[in-house]
Amino acid sequence: MRWIADAALALRLLARDWRAGELTLVAIAVVVAVASVTTVGFFADRVHQALSRQANQLLGADLVISGDRQLDSSFAAEAERRGLQVARMLRFPSMTTGNGQSVLAEVKVVTAGYPLRGELRIADAQHGVDRRATEIPKPGTVWVDERLITRLQLQVGDAIEIGQSRLPITQIITQEPDSAIGFINAGPRIMINDADIAATGLVQVGSRIRYRVLVAGAPAAITDYRGWVTLKLAPGQRVESIEDARPEIRSALERSEKFLSLAALLSVVLAAVAIALAARRFLQRHLDACAIMRCHGASQSRLVRLYLLQFIVLGAVASLAGCIAGFVAQHALALWLGSLVTVELPEPGWMPALHGFVTGLSLLLGFALPPVIALAKVPTLRVLRRDIGAPSGMGLLGYALGAVVIAGLIIWKAGDLRLGGMVFAGFSGAMLVAGLLAWGVIALVSRLGGAGVSWRFGIANLRRRPLASVLQVVALGIGVMALLTLTIIRSELLDLWQRSLPPDAPNRFIVNVQQDQIPALKKFFDGRGIAMPELHPMVRARLTGINDRQVAPADYTDDRARRLVDREFNLSWATQMQKDNRLIAGNWWSGGAGNKSARTDQFSLEDGIAKALGVGVGDKLTFDAAGSAFTAEITSLRKVDWDSFNVNFFVVSPPGLLEKYPASYVTSFYLPPGNVELLNALVKQFPNFLLIDVAQVLGQVQTMITQVSRAVQFVFLFTLLAGLVVLYAAIASTQDERLYQATIMRTLGASRAQLARANLAEFAVIGALAGLIAVAGANALGYVLAQRVINVGYEFSYVLWGFGILGTVLGVMLAGHLGTRHVLRIAPLRVLRMLS
């Protein structure tokens, strides 16, 4: 009842405080924090919804059995026996030629009935009106998508070559299930009838074919069938249904969502600093109001209630505004990311708004509650004795509550205690280090003394308010660092990486060369005056055991290790170690093929994969190739320079171990720019070859990196914004003191220009320090990324040092000047009267 009775009064008090501008900064800080969190939340929610809506569309069936070897024919037969619908499908990459050009395309071979679920849509001509397809391509015809027809400059009716076949295009595919998960994916698409596959001659040893059986029917029958088929699965085969569709996409999405949420929390942490500063100022400025209200008979509990109500309403309104800002911003984000997201995104739900709301309110109350309680305890005697302030001792406790709130938010967003704890420790550590650095430099600079009264006065300001100065430096520094890392460092790193590649590094890979094609290929190169590149044999096999232990994907938590165990490896054999490999453990086999004493049952492993699998020299690996198993001991570990773009293998054995298994060959070579004729001739003569254009792959990777980092950059804009709010909150918290000082100075004869210069000197130092921290931090991150992630030597960027620091100095000086200029405009007499 009391709460309701006081609500109206609290609202009026809130309106008065708002009008007086006492709460603007608090509100802005909450808006920025909530907007930052909800932008990510809304966007992730839309992508999630799109994924789950499309789940069975993606699958094209209720249940899919897939494997990288031919699936047992009983799978389909049993499904049919149980009255389920069945279709079969193969997918593999292949070169395709038309109009004198070749491109790498994704070929899908289907049987009648496909797709069992979801829609396949086609059009009679490019850009034509599409319709639902009621059948699959007729034997002897091919359907392609817009990308392929555009790339090859073809029209419906023209023919394309796939393997040894030449087929006319009869329809354009506009939408197909099980294709896109909405994100950038392989190449253009081709669909042909199952009856035509044999004629293409593309199903060979080493072909990267993925076999699928699609099943649909009543849910109970599907469940039963799933139970049956699960027991029959061979290694490397798996069953997927709607529930477990695309687990890798889901986990990737969840990881990036988590990362973005945590990045968004950086703004929340900075906003918290601003709120803490603003709440302190609120406390200072409301001591009198509280004392007066106590004089007029308001009890402590009533004051707490009144101010709490005020802050709850303020927090709710500001959080709502933040949610709206976040909603608008996520639309901007979706537009900005553009082609990365190709699916149509549904409108977001309201859960992210609720999360934003909780974040905003708990942040505000976490940092405002302790000052409010302290405020209510103000001694009423203050009305007679102005020197009596708020009771002390609330300070530390107050920040402890705020810290608990921040830690709680981080752990909540991280979704687990350990990660959350690490991020919290990371944030606090970074702020602590930056804070200590700023503190030290400010102490150092203030000892320097030196030029001009304005400069000295400005520096004295920094020293007099060390906490405010350090907070400003840290908040701005972190905001700018976040942005620098993503803009300049990212492009620098990509540049560095590209420059580290030798100019004549191989730029084309040839995959899928068959043993009997080697002489013809040699003749092909010889005829063109190009040295035949070295061919490497390749045997596909699955890892089935380590030492005496069977392995399964579920044994590993590391994603890479899971993938390695789940799929087939490419194994090779060689006498000599490749030039771009470096031995880091064990010994390479000696003596070559001629040395009869050399064991053949040895493996040399790439260092990274050995780590992922948790094996080393002395361990034994068992592989299964084409149904027969073989075991060998790891005798050496190698470091591979993948950037050389030479063909390299994770697992290599000496000659003698693998030759009896079906092998294909792979090679890489440098194709001088513009020599398209050679490629077309190559594909024409060897239609089964896959030619991979390294530049194109690199381009795709770069596009993806660019777009993903754009999303993060967007989120970090809020961080910078929060940094600016901290700057203003710090300026505001020192406003009265600044007014008083400026007045005294002007009374003593200082000119406005001198005072303005003093302020500028202060902000220049803050800007320089923030810039220094930002650039140093961004460079440190860049160094770690360069060393650990992309393995290039990092060069410290002078451009970054120059522009980063100068830009921050100028930006902070401008913002600081805007924040303090009115101090200089007020007539000193008015100030003296106000302060008397």
**Site residues (vs another protein, CB under 8 A):** 5, 9, 12, 16-17, 19-20, 22, 285, 288-289, 291-302, 379-381, 383-386, 830, 833-834, 836
Question: What distance in Å separates the CA atoms of residue 375 and residue 377, rounded to the nearest whole number?
Answer: 5
Nearer to another protein, 301 or 587 (CB): 301
**Shortest Å distance, C-beta 334 to another protein:** 42
Nearest distance from C-beta of residue 750 to another protein, angstroms: 23
Please give the distance of CA 574 from its chain centroid, rounded to a whole number: 38
Cβ proximity to another protein: between 368 and 539 the closer is 368
Which residues sit opposite 632 in a β-bridge? 621
Q: Report in angstroms how near the CB of residue 373 gets to another protein at its nearest.
A: 15
CB-wise, 616 or 828, nearer to another protein?
A: 828
Using CA atoms of 34, 40, 41, 42 in order, give the dihedral in degrees to the nearest 10: 100
Tell the smallest beta-carbon distance from residue 729 to another protein (Å): 18
Q: Give me the least distance between CB of 13 and another protein, in Å please.
A: 9
Rank residues 255 and 830 by Cβ distance to another protein and give the closer one. 830
Nearest-angstrom CA–CA distance, 414 and 259 = 8
User: Is the peptide bond preceding residue 672 cis, with omega within 30 degrees of 0?
Assistant: no
12/463 with CB nearer another protein: 12
User: What's the DSSP call for residue 517?
Assistant: G
Residue listed under structure tokens 């089935």: 544
**What is the distance, to the nearest Å, from the Cα of residue 745 to the centroid of all Cα atoms in its chain?**
52
What's the min distance (Å) between Cβ of 722 and another protein? 26
DSSP 315-344: HHHHHHHHHHHHHHHHHHHHHHHGGG--SP
Closest to another protein by CB, 20 or 629:
20
The distance of Cα 514 from the centroid of its chain, to the nearest Å, equals 39
Output 117 or 382, the one with its CB closest to another protein: 382
Q: Which is nearer to another protein, 135 or 288 (CB)?
A: 288
- Closer residue to another protein in complex, CB, 20/520: 20
Smallest gap, in angstroms, from Cβ of residue 289 to another protein? 5
Euclidean distance between CA atoms 253 and 37, whole angstroms: 17
Least distance CB 305 / another protein (angstroms) = 12
Q: Which residue in this structure is represented by tokens 């003698």?
A: 656
Which tokens sit at 794? Answer: 């990092």
Q: Please report how close the Cβ of residue 724 comes to another protein at its closest, in angstroms.
A: 25
Q: How many CA atoms lie within 13 A of 141 on its CB side?
A: 11
DSSP 528-591: TT-PPPPPEEEEEEEEEEETTEE--GGG--SHHHHHHHHSEEEEEE-SSPPTTEEEEEE----S
Token pair for 738: 């600044």
Least Å distance, CB 286 to another protein, is 9
Other CB atoms within a 10 A radius of the CB of residue 504 amount to 9
Closest approach of another protein to the CB of residue 360, in Å: 24
CB 650 within 8 A of CB 570: yes
| Dist CA 134 CA 113 (whole Å) | 9
The pair of structure tokens assigned to 612 is 């992922």
11 versus 433: smaller Cβ distance to another protein: 11
Query: Which residues, other chains included, contact 116 with Cβ-Cβ below 8 Å and sequence gap of 6+?
Result: 60, 61, 62, 85, 87, 214, 215, 216
- Smaller CB distance to another protein: residue 386 or 582? 386
283 vs 613, which CB is nearer to another protein? 283
Q: Considering the complex, what minimum distance in angstroms separates the CB of residue 10 from another protein? A: 10
Q: Which is nearer to another protein, 296 or 579 (CB)?
A: 296
* Dihedrals phi, psi of 529, to nearest 5 degrees: 70, 25
Quote the radius of gyration of the chain (alpha carbons, Å).
34
Query: How many other C-beta atoms lie within 10 A of the C-beta of residue 82?
Result: 16
- Least distance in Å: CB of 374 to another protein? 15
Which strand (E) or helix (H) includes residue 509?
Answer: strand 508-514
